[in-house]
Amino acid sequence: DIQMTQSPSSLSASIGDRVTITCRASQDISNSLAWYQQKAGNAPKLLVSDASRLESGAPSRFSGAGSGTDHTLTISNLQPEDFATYYCQQYYSTPRTFGRGTRVEIK
Amino acid sequence: QVQLVQSGAEVKKPGSSVKVSCKASGGTFSGYILTWVRQAPGQGLEWMGRIAPNLGTTHYGQAFQGRATITANSATATTYLELISLTSDDTAVYYCARGRGDGFPNWGQGTLVTVSS
């Protein structure tokens, strides 16, 4: 199974900050990576697929980058509604493994 | 706009089984992959397995091999997850999700399964 190591596990940031979350795969997954946002009590919401393709309806302040083993999700100009937990997931092979999540909290 | 509507919360005894359903409204199964993901209280997301209804093929995570069964009824656009030999470690919210293999844009609302004596 491909292991997805996500960091940091949590971070504190202020409104307007730029934050970056990293996801490292245990092997080359090309660009077969998705990012999700999850708010308490809700199902995850797909933000980015194919490592950098923003989903319809996702704000443009979210951007994904990377290929191979190293991937990032960047939120520029952090907004109040962005405080949530973010997960990466690889779909290069089955099982489709998730990272352990990054909780973004208000400083 | 497709919606995935899951069955209601369940309370089960250790050693019993549970079957959760997920119905697609406003859409079909054709060409999609239906996946089950669970989330234990305060924990992350765990991929359990998936089914491709048009191919009839299933794949399961190693932790669920032999204990989980995913089925689908294309006529009713419903997928099912059955989990047997429940323990307290199976207490979680179970989600169904639909996609084409490049991430899951559609999710059910989640079904809380509580395993308690």
Q: Do A44 and B47 touch (CB under 8 A)?
A: no
Give the number of A-B residue pairs with CB atoms closer than 8 Å.
55
Question: Which residues, other chains included, contact B42 with Cβ-Cβ below 8 Å and sequence gap of 6+?
Answer: none
Nearest CA in chain A to B94: A43
Measure in Å the smallest separation between the Cα of A18 and chain B Cα atoms.
24
Least confident stretch, A60-69, B25-34, B86-95, B103-112: B25-34
pLDDT value, residue B1? 80
pLDDT value, residue B100? 86
CA distance B4 to B97: 8
Q: Do B35 and A87 touch (CB under 8 A)?
A: no
B89's tokens:
């470690």
Q: Do B103 and A89 touch (CB under 8 A)?
A: yes
Q: Do B47 and A98 touch (CB under 8 A)?
A: yes
Q: Do A46 and B103 touch (CB under 8 A)?
A: yes
Nearest CA in chain B to A9: B44
Q: Do A96 and B47 touch (CB under 8 A)?
A: yes
Question: Which residues, other chains included, contact A59 with Cβ-Cβ below 8 Å and sequence gap of 6+?
Answer: A79
Write out chain A residues lying below 8 Å of B46, CB-based: 98
The residue that leads in pLDDT, A44 or B31, is A44
Write out chain B residues lying below 8 Å of A94, CB-based: 50, 59
Band the pLDDT of A13: cuts 50, 70, 90.
Answer: very high
Question: Which residues, other chains included, contact B75 with Cβ-Cβ below 8 Å and sequence gap of 6+?
Answer: none
The residue that leads in pLDDT, B100 or A102, is A102
In sign, the C-alpha dihedral spanning A90, B2, B57, B47 is positive
The 10s digit of each residue's pLDDT in B47-105 is 999 999 988 899 999 999 999 999 999 889 999 999 999 999 999 999 999 998 889 99
The rounded radius of gyration (Å) of the Cα atoms in chain A is: 13
pLDDT value, residue A15? 96
Nearest CA in chain B to A103: B44
DSSP assignment of B61-114:
-GGGTTTEEEEEETTTTEEEEEE-S--GGG-EEEEEEEESSS---EEB--EEEE
Q: Which of B24, B28, B12, B7 is nearest to B84 (CA)?
A: B12
CA distance A44 to A32: 18
The whole-number average pLDDT for the span A94-104 is 97
CA distance B62 to B70: 14
- On the question of pLDDT at A50 being above 90, the answer is yes
CA distance A23 to A1: 16
Question: Which residues, other chains included, contact B108 with Cβ-Cβ below 8 Å and sequence gap of 6+?
Answer: A43, B4, B5, B6, B22, B95, B96, B97
Q: Do A49 and B103 touch (CB under 8 A)?
A: yes
pLDDT value, residue B30? 74
